[in-house]
Structure formats: C-alpha cells, structure tokens
Structure 1
Amino acid sequence: MANIRDVARLAGVSISSVSNLLNNRISLMSRSTRLRIEQAMNELDYNPVRAAVPVKDGQAKIIGLLVPSIVNPSFSALAHEVDLSARAYNYRVLLGNSYRQEDEERAFIEDMFSHGVLGIIVAASDIRKTHFVRAAEKGMTIVSYDNRFPETTASDTRIFDSVSMDNTQAGYLAAQHLVERGCKNIIFATESTLTMSRSHKIEGFLTVLKNQRFSLIERIVEGKACSEYGDTEMFELGLALTSKVLATTPFPDGIVAINDALGIGLMTGLRAAGVQVPHDVSLVGIDNISLSAFAEPGLTSVMPPQSEMAQVMVERIISRLNDPTLRPGEFLFPPTLVCRQSVKASAA
C-alpha cells in the first residue's frame, strides 16, 4: 500500500507539500505542483481516507511508535518492549523511523491518521514542535518518550503524556560509581549535538564532579557524527572518539559514555591502541543494551526500567483514548546500575 512518502517521491516534491495538499493548504502552492501531486496520488492509488482500516468501534487497535532510527540498539529495545506491552491489550504497533527529520515526523502523523490510528508514542523528539501540537489538537493521543516537559510547563497546559528515565540521575549514577571505585580524572564522551536527555545526563555527571571538587575544565569529550544527532552511528563515533580520549591530558582513569553503543565503540578503539579496560581506564555506559553483557570486558551500564516504561506508555494511550477527559501526566522512572567488568574493583 502506497504512503505519503511514495507520493512525494514520485511527484518530486517534499512530504510537507503532499501534506499541505491533503489538508487543503494550497494557497501558496503552484498549480503545476498540485497537479503533479494529484497525478502521483492517482498513479499510486493513494487515498488516505480509503486507506483507513478502523475496527467496528471506529478506532483502529493500533499504536504508532516513532523513533529516530531502529538501527540504534536503544530504540530497537524500546520497540520490542512497546510491542510486548501492546500485545497484552490486543493492540498492534506500527513503527516509523524519523531520523529526527520534521518531514518524516509529519509524514508519520499523516499515515497514522489515514490508517485510523489515534495514539502514538514519539521517542526522543521535541514534542513541542508545531506538527505534534496540531496532531494533538486534531485528536491524536501522544506520549513523549525520553523528552521531559520543561520545568516551566504548567500541569494544566500539557497536551501530551511524558514518560522518561531520570537522565540526570543516570549521569549522576555513572559518575558516582567511578568515583566510588577510586577514579579521580573522569570525562564524559558524547555526540556533540545535544538533546534534552543528553544535556540532563551531562548535568548529572557534572554534579558529581562539583561535589568532589574536581576540575570541570575539558571534561566533555565530544565528536560530530556524519548524520545529525548520530543516532545510526554511535558505535562508529565511539571508535572515532578514541583519538580525542588518547590526547586528553592528564589521561582519564574513568569515562562515562552517553550510551552503551558509543561506549562499546570507544572500548574497541582503546583496546586497539593498547589501552586496557578496566586496568588503565574504567568505562560506564548508559542504557544497558543487550550487547553490553557480551562485550569484552562486559560493560557496566546504567539501566532504564524499559519494560515498566513501555507498559505505562501503552496504558496511557489506551486509557486516554477511552477517556478523553483524562489529563496528560509526567512519569519519571529511576535508573539502576548494572555492574560488569569494565570498571576496576575498589582498592582494598
């Protein structure tokens, strides 16, 4: 079945242009552009209304899940947990990759409306963007994952649910564990493009350094991925950051990685350079992907309670679909530390 992306590709226009036509926003669109889109829709037999497949009560028993990229192991694990939770309620999950591109986010929303889907989980994206707000105003129930409300947002003005791990606490736990194991020169390795969750992890990390009265100068080692935000290339970025870590003076005895994929890539690069983990440097990741247990050495990581978070997200969507008067809320989950072999033992 054709979708809005196929129409845009065939017509040689942007996804937002197709969306504008579908929503009768054609005042600034040339006649030739409109005709190309309409011709593409006809050739592909694309009709959003006809494509809708609602169940008897008028509401599809489907939940949408929009992630930056399923290539990122963190989002793969999230998709698995959301699917398991949805199946318990006899719901199915439609997955979309946004690559953090607004056109892709808009297209996903249009696809969900066209299929009669009125509940979506949006992972790691700025939920305040106009297209998400408009979707909510049109009746879409949205849960934001891993992107908390700004502190200034009043509870009675929220139109989305927010479900997140306490990322500030995650950064704190990772750094504090290294301090407790005797590390005194700790750095934080990350992709340079900051999201809210990345900023919160760094904030928690720096809090530990301030409490220990460690220097805060040059404690963040960052690299720029080829793609914006680096969601699809965290292993490669960790490997590439090795040279920056090796050039750090004095050489660090502890590293917190923004996530496990970057941490494993960094560990691989350090090993190739003759640096032993944890003998020469201890390393902690954040998010506890399954590969971390099989790394060599096993990667110590800070773990979100992803199963519980997925269950809450699915239940919030279903509950709010059944009761539109239910107010959106914020749900913050505490992380836990999973100890493996990448951090040196405490000195006796």
Structure 2
Amino acid sequence: MANIRDVANHAGVSVSSVSNVLNGRTNQMRPETLARIRQSMHDLNYLPNRVAQQLKTGQARMIGLLVPSIVNPSFAMLTREVDRAAKANQYRVLLGNTYRQEDEEKAFLEDMFAHGVKGVIVVATAMDRPHFANAARHGMVMVNYDSLMSAHAPDGNPPFDSVSMDNVEAGRLAAEHLIERGCRQLVFVTEATQLTSRLHKIEGFFSAVKRHGLQDSAHVIEGKAEVAYGDAEMTELGRSLAAKVLQQSPRPDGIVAINDAMGIGLMAGLRSAGIRIPQDMSVIGIDNIPLADLVQPPMSSVMPPLADMVNMMVDRLLTRIENPDLTPEEFLFVPKLISRQSVIENEEP
C-alpha cells in the first residue's frame, strides 16, 4: 500500500507538500503542483491515514452538527447547506439527531470529543443547559443556530457564537402580508411548547396586528405534539389543527403557521374540510422549504437567508477553532417575504 513518501516521490515534490494538500494548506501552492500531487494520489490509490493525522494534530477535519430532527424539512435543508459549506472547506460533517433531549445532546458531545471534533453547530435548542457550557470549558467551539444567547449569559458574554434569523421580523412580515391583502381575522398557529424562536415569531405577529389596530381580532392557536417539541410531527399537527381553526368564531381569514411544514399540513386539513385557499382562508408559512412551492396552491412564506447564515456559522466555527481567544458574537439575519398563491390578492382598503 502506498504511503505519503511514495506519493511525494511519484509527484516529484517534498513530503511536506503532500502533507499540505492533505491538511488543506494549498493557498500558496502552484495549481500545477497541486494537480500533480492529486494525480499521484489517484495513480497510487493512496488513502491517507486519518487516525494518524488526528493523533498528530489532536483534531479531525470534521465539524459536528446537532439538529432536533432530520425529519423536519427545515432542519434537513439546513443540514444540506452545512454539508455544502463544510465540504467547501475540506471538512466532513458528523450529524447528531437529538430531539432536543439532554441525554442525547450529552452523548453526542462526548462522541464529538472522542472523534477529535473541535467545533459543533448546535441547532435550535436551550444553550443554557450545563453540558454545553461544560463542553466549551473543555475546548469545544460551538455556534448556536436559531436561539439568541444574550438572555442566558449573566455577564453578557456567552461562550458560543449565535446565528439566527430575525424571528420577530419574520412573524411581523407574515402578518403584514396578510393584512395588506385584506385579511382581518388573523390567527398564528403553532406547537404549544414555548421556544425562544417561536415566541419571537409570535411577538412579531402581534406587533403587526397592533400597528393596524387588529389586536382584538388576532390570537394564537396551539396544538401539543405527541413527542417532545413536535419537530418530527409538524405536518401532521398542522393537519389536525385545521379543525381547531374552523371552530373559531368569527372564522379566521388569514393564518400564519409557525413553519412551512405546519402550514402545508394545515392547508391539507382545511382543503379536506371544503375550505378554498386562498378564497376562503389565506395561509403563509415561515422557512421557505422547497415543498412550499410545490403544494397547491403554492404557499407564501418568509425566507431566511440560509446560505449566508450557514456560511457565517462554518466560517466562525473554523476561525474560532484556529483562534480560541476570539470573542463570540451574535449575528442576526433579516428574512425576506416570498409571495405565492396561498394568500388572497385583495389589497388593504
């Protein structure tokens, strides 16, 4: 089996040059030299010893990603983007499906340490749990996605970066769109568990209805998931909540769903009850997953700048792995309205 010296001899370069390629240090390398080394690796069927590399550096070229549920389309879309950004930096992604359960989070963090992972993106969970602070104290670099940290840090300096869509603005944009199209009886439909991101979206929803003097005709409809926080059940929960929406009097004419998966399920439940969308009720979601454009009618949504957010997370993770003393920061991204056919065309009088 070929080793690193064989590759160097075949390519006519030094062993250190081959090592630079293996470790992603190619910025100062001539393109023709890089091509020759890679061709030699291919010709010799060279497989680098990743275990030996990890023992030498104390670090694997992997980043961790902890998500509440890969079944949720929003988190699946996020995972795809993280994988893309990691590969662009010659890293792999070690994925943990946690269901926001503390024992699962602890176990995955232990696995990350055991595999030499030095940086983890933690998605939509309570970052004030002790195991995250403990991991940070032991050298794990973390970026928190979709749960702002300042409220949980007594000194105002949390040990993790935070990257989030402006969820207050997302809720506000969704409600404003319904109101601008003439909707006056508004509801916000969500899973009942009070998460920071959900509360912020509801806050934005009510800021819009109050601005238009509609607070007396706007309210929240909640449904309790069977398992944990409902991350894997949003479509089914949305379908079941259609009956609860139809029990309201006066009947709502505009609905904001906590996310697109719930909105899609809600639309299915309403159609089964004979409700025309958007003629009888308008529906808008939040997240802009690909399925939102494929259902009938295509569903309006509020879109986070996901690619930009993921690039920021991966960049901050790798930068702080190299520079552990760099101060963590919070980054808030502005969402964008995507208008489709699930909201009525009537304009506000």
Corresponding residue number in structure 1 for 2:309: 309
Native 8 Å contact 1:55 1:61 kept in 2: no
What is the deviation of 1:149?
Answer: 1.7
Q: TM-score, normalised on structure 1?
A: 0.83
Structure 1 344/55 Cα, relative in aligned 2: closer, same or farther at 3 Å? Answer: farther
Q: TM-score, normalised on structure 2?
A: 0.83
Structure 1 334/52 Cα, relative in aligned 2: closer, same or farther at 3 Å? Answer: farther
Residue type of the alignment partner of 2:283: L
Q: Deviations over 1:42-78 (max 9, x none)?
A: xxxxxxxxx8972642211100000000000000000
Residue type of the alignment partner of 1:158: P
Q: How far, CA to CA, are the matches of 2:233 and 2:190 in structure 1?
A: 12
Corresponding residue number in structure 1 for 2:170: 170
Residue type of the alignment partner of 2:89: Y
Q: Deviations over 1:103-122 (max 9, x none)?
A: 00000000000000010000
Residue type of the alignment partner of 1:85: A
Structure 1 218/244 Cα, relative in aligned 2: closer, same or farther at 3 Å? Answer: farther
Residue type of the alignment partner of 2:325: T
Residue type of the alignment partner of 1:311: N
Native 8 Å contact 2:171 2:204 kept in 1: yes
Structure 1 216/92 Cα, relative in aligned 2: closer, same or farther at 3 Å? Answer: farther
In the alignment, structure 1 residue 335 sits paired with structure 2 residue 335 = yes
Corresponding residue number in structure 2 for 1:64: 64
Q: How far, CA to CA, are the matches of 1:314 and 1:125 in structure 2?
A: 18
What is the deviation of 1:345?
Answer: 0.7
Higher Rg: 2
> Which residues of structure 2 form unaligned runs of 5+?
1-50
Structure 1 181/55 Cα, relative in aligned 2: closer, same or farther at 3 Å? Answer: farther
SS in structure 2 at match of 1:342? coil
Corresponding residue number in structure 2 for 1:143: 143
What is the deviation of 1:164?
Answer: 0.3
Native 8 Å contact 2:150 2:158 kept in 1: no
Corresponding residue number in structure 2 for 1:21: none
Corresponding residue number in structure 2 for 1:81: 81
Identity of matched residues, %: 54
Native 8 Å contact 1:255 1:282 kept in 2: yes
Corresponding residue number in structure 2 for 1:321: 321
In the alignment, structure 1 residue 98 sits paired with structure 2 residue 101 = no
Native 8 Å contact 1:52 1:116 kept in 2: no
Residue type of the alignment partner of 1:250: P
Corresponding residue number in structure 1 for 2:276: 276
What is the deviation of 1:175?
Answer: 0.2
SS in structure 2 at match of 1:54? helix
RMSD between aligned alpha carbons? 1.6
Native 8 Å contact 1:238 1:262 kept in 2: yes
Native 8 Å contact 2:128 2:152 kept in 1: no
Q: Deviations over 1:194-249 (max 9, x none)?
A: 10000000000011111111134661011011011100000000000011000010
Corresponding residue number in structure 2 for 1:298: 298
SS in structure 1 at match of 2:184? coil
Q: How does 1:123-272 map to 2 (within 5 A)?
A: 123-151=123-151, 153=153, 157-216=157-216, 219-272=219-272
Q: How far, CA to CA, are the matches of 2:166 and 2:265 in structure 1?
A: 25
Residue type of the alignment partner of 2:229: Y
Count of equivalent residues: 298
What is the deviation of 1:327?
Answer: 0.7
